[in-house]
Structure 1
Amino acid sequence: MGNIGIIGSGLVGSRVIQHLTSYSHPLVTTNHFNVNHVNGCDVVVLAHGAPHAALAAVLLGQGCHVVSCCDDLEDTMTMLDLAPRAQSMGRSLVVGAACSPGMTGLLVNHVSRAFDAMDEVHVAVHGTGGPRCAHQHHKNLAGTSVGWHDGEWLQSPAGSGRELCWFPDPVNARDCYRHASAEPILLQRVAPQLQRITARVSATRRDRLTARLPMLSPPHKEGGVGALRVEARGTRNGVRHVEIVGMSERIASVAAAVAANVAHVLATQPVTPGVHAVGAPELPNGEILDGVLATGLTLHQFVGT
Structure 2
Amino acid sequence: MASAQPTIAIVGRGLVGARVAQHVMSQNIPVIAVSRDRVVEAYGADVVVLAHRNPHAALASTLMGQGSSVVSVGGGLDDTMDMLALHERAVAAGHSMIVGAACSPGASGLLLHYMLDMFDTVDEVHLAVHGTGGPQCARAHHDGLAGVAVGWHDGEWFKRPGGSGRELCWFPDPVNARDCYRFETPEPVLMLRVEPSLRRISARTSATRRDRLTARLPMLLPPHAEGGIGALRVEVRGTKDGIRHVEICGMAERIASIAASVAAHTALAILKSPVAPGVHVLGESSLPNAEILNALVAGGLTLHQFVGS
> Do these two structures clear the TM 0.5 threshold for a shared fold by scoring above it?
yes
* Aligned equivalent of 2:301: 297
- What is the CA-CA distance between 1:294 and the residue it aligns to? 1.2
Letter in 2 for 1:22: S
RMSD (Å) for aligned C-alpha atoms: 0.7
CA deviations on 1:185-216 (whole Å, 9 max, x unpaired) are: 11111111111110000001111111111000
Q: Among 94, 119, 125, which residue is 1:115 paired with?
A: 119
TM-score under structure 2 length normalisation: 0.98
* Aligned equivalent of 2:241: 237
Q: Tell me if structure 2 keeps the 8 A contact 1:128–1:222.
A: yes
The number of equivalent residue pairs is: 305
Q: Tell me if structure 2 keeps the 8 A contact 1:2–1:268.
A: no
* Aligned equivalent of 1:154: 158
Query: Using the alignment, how far apart are the partners of 1:267 and 1:197 within structure 2?
Result: 32
Q: Among 104, 112, 117, which residue is 2:108 paired with?
A: 104
- What is the CA-CA distance between 1:19 and the residue it aligns to? 0.6
Aligned to 1:98, the other structure's residue is in SS state: coil
- What is the CA-CA distance between 1:270 and the residue it aligns to? 2.3
Letter in 1 for 2:8: I
Q: Where in structure 1 do 4 or more consecutive aligned residues deviate above 6 Å? A: none
Segments of 5+ residues of structure 1 without an aligned counterpart are none
Q: Among 65, 69, 74, which residue is 2:69 paired with?
A: 65
Aligned to 1:12, the other structure's residue is in SS state: helix
* Superposition map of 1:1-305 within 5 A: 2-305=6-309
- What is the CA-CA distance between 1:158 and the residue it aligns to? 0.6
Segments of 5+ residues of structure 2 without an aligned counterpart are none
TM-score under structure 1 length normalisation: 0.99
Query: Using the alignment, how far apart are the partners of 1:141 and 1:240 within structure 2?
Result: 32
Q: Tell me if structure 1 keeps the 8 A contact 2:43–2:67.
A: no
Query: Using the alignment, how far apart are the partners of 1:293 and 1:260 within structure 2?
Result: 13
CA deviations on 1:207-234 (whole Å, 9 max, x unpaired) are: 1111111000011100000001000000
CA deviations on 1:127-178 (whole Å, 9 max, x unpaired) are: 0000000000001011100001111111111110000000011110000000
Aligned to 1:136, the other structure's residue is in SS state: helix
Query: Using the alignment, how far apart are the partners of 1:67 and 1:85 within structure 2?
Result: 15
Query: Using the alignment, how far apart are the partners of 1:272 and 1:102 within structure 2?
Result: 19
Aligned to 2:196, the other structure's residue is in SS state: coil
* Percentage of matched positions with identical amino acids: 62
Query: Using the alignment, how far apart are the partners of 1:239 and 1:2 within structure 2?
Result: 49
Aligned to 1:175, the other structure's residue is in SS state: strand
